[in-house]
Amino acid sequence: METNMLVVEADTFGSQVRIRGKETNYYLCMNRKGKLIGKKDSSVNGGCVFIEIMLENNYTAWMSAHYVGWYVGFTKKGRPRRGPNTLPNQRDVHFMKRFPPGEQPDLQPCSFTTVSKRSKRVQLLSASPPPLP
């Protein structure tokens, strides 16, 4: 599985950022139709600058600085959504969950087991009792 890393660069002192792919060095931009595109040079127009917004539910959203009200969003399948079809209350535009200082959750190590359809079938077919976790 490939991991594509994004670099969020501060554009100015404030909440304006540019989003760049670490390996490709292409910037995430939004064209006038609201489509997300990649550009090598982010200084051509304002479509590559986004405003980082902290929502009420502590998630981060990125709104286009050039096209106000249009957000960066992706569907469950990872397909980009067009800017005019996005709203700040949609899950498609919610990214990193951030907690205010002093309100960090108590992170306890958790253990889990993965059960696939195959392992369930094998357990049902075998005459021996299933192993204890």
The per-residue pLDDT for 99 is 72
The per-residue pLDDT for 7 is 87
Structure tokens at 98: 């951030």
Highest mean pLDDT among 23-32, 87-96, 124-133: 23-32
pLDDT band at 32 (very low <50, low <70, confident <90, very high): very high
Instruction: Please give the mean pLDDT across all residues of the chain.
Output: 79
Can you give the residue ranges of every domain in the chain?
A: 6-101
Residue that wins the pLDDT comparison between 46 and 32: 32
pLDDT band at 44 (very low <50, low <70, confident <90, very high): low
Q: Specify the CATH number of the domain 6-101.
A: 2.80.10.50
Q: Of the given ranges (24-28, 93-97, 105-109, 116-120), which has the lowest mean pLDDT?
A: 116-120
**Mean pLDDT for the stretch of residues 102-112:** 61
Nearest 10 degrees: Cα torsion 31, 34, 35, 39: 30
